[in-house]
Amino acid sequence: MSVSSDEDQSDSQEWVFYRDRPEWKDIEPIPQDDGEEPIVSIAYSPKFQDVFDYLRGAMKISEKSERVLQLTQDAIELNAANYTVWQYRRDILKEMKADLWQELNYINSVIENYQKNYQVWYHRKVIVEWLKDGSSELEFTERVLEMDAKNYHAWQHRQWAIKTFKMFDSELDYVDKLLQDDIRNNSAWNERYFVIHQTTGFTEEVVKNEVEYTLEKIAIAKENESAWNYLRGLLLYDKNGLSKNVHVTDFCEKLYASGNRSPFLLALIVDMCDEQIVSGSGDARYTLERAKQLCSDLATEYDTIRCKYWEYMANTIEKKSKGEQPEEEASAST
């Protein structure tokens, strides 16, 4: 059985096989070894076979030269996800003491074509580390994120560069711009958390300002799960907990009174009830009865896909109200 490779078959007429290049006669090509009886034999194109056969031949004798560097480039064009090719390319660059800025320009063009390929981003990271200069990384990742604002690899690389080269200064402004463009951009919310965590930390003043910022965003898009999750994260740093931040509770109660039944709003109020019941604070708005009713509403109408979870939550909160341990806590203590 054979299957076609992913390689683009439209080779240009100018392409000359390595086996037909006189300057490569000294290299013995090594064919791909798939074993005696491969379950699935990949039908590599002649060009693919030629390039990788000669690359294996060059690697066998550990040749690190300008011509093999070009050979790795041809191999990368055929399969940019091949870790071995990228590693050998790095070995050649180091051996030759090559121009790393030229290599950075090269990897720019590769990433533009393979934006979600781990190997290309890892190669860029290594080159930037060797250069000890991250001055190009914010602008480069911003260009990539303009094409896909949620590209995980671009965000991961950007965070690495910002942390490594201490480039936090304007990042919150950039995040705010992204959220103005797309308030539901979960990656931007995550970046906001990252920047604050790495710089000021979530001090009382920072939490106060961030809560205000987040509530303003929720008021614009009340069904935005990303903003609700960010709010929950902020309240973990509030010494008063979920249910005693007056700014938050007043906002939630007004939203509820207006008729809004966002599952994220209801879930937060359930947790507020849970917290009040456990602490015994006695706020009349956050009772067992209300928690059970909201869990029922979520299970039957507003978050039915998680109905079992909300039934479980109602039972758990009721047990807590009676001073009983929830099942998982009881089993953990035995």
On whether the CB atoms of residues 62 and 55 are closer than 8 A, the answer is no
Tokens 């209801």 label which residue?
A: 266
- Contact yes or no for 42/21 (Cβ under 8 A): no
Structure tokens at 307: 């109905």
Instruction: Determine whether 116 is an active site residue.
Output: yes
DSSP class of 325: P
Q: Is 215 in contact with 247 (CB distance < 8 Å)?
A: yes
Instruction: Check: CB of residue 44 under 8 Å from CB of residue 67.
Output: no
Q: Which residues contact 6 (CB under 8 A, 6 or more apart)?
A: 79
Residues 167 and 181: beta-carbon distance below 8 Å: no
Burial class (CB in 10 A: 0-12, 13-18, 19+), 280: exposed
Q: What is the DSSP string of 186-244?
A: HHHHHHHHHHHHHTT-S-HHHHHHHHHHHHHHHHH-TT-HHHHHHHHHHHTT-TT-SS-
**Pairing mode of beta strands 41-43, 2-4:** parallel
Q: 83 vs 49, 61, 118, 174, CA distance in Å? A: 17, 19, 9, 33
What are the residue ranges of helices labelled H in the chain?
Answer: 46-60, 66-78, 83-96, 100-113, 118-131, 137-147, 152-165, 171-181, 186-198, 204-220, 225-235, 246-257, 263-279, 288-297, 307-321, 327-332
Q: Catalytic: which of 25, 60, 94, 116?
A: 116
With tokens 């109602």, the residue in question is: 314
User: Known catalytic residues?
Assistant: 116
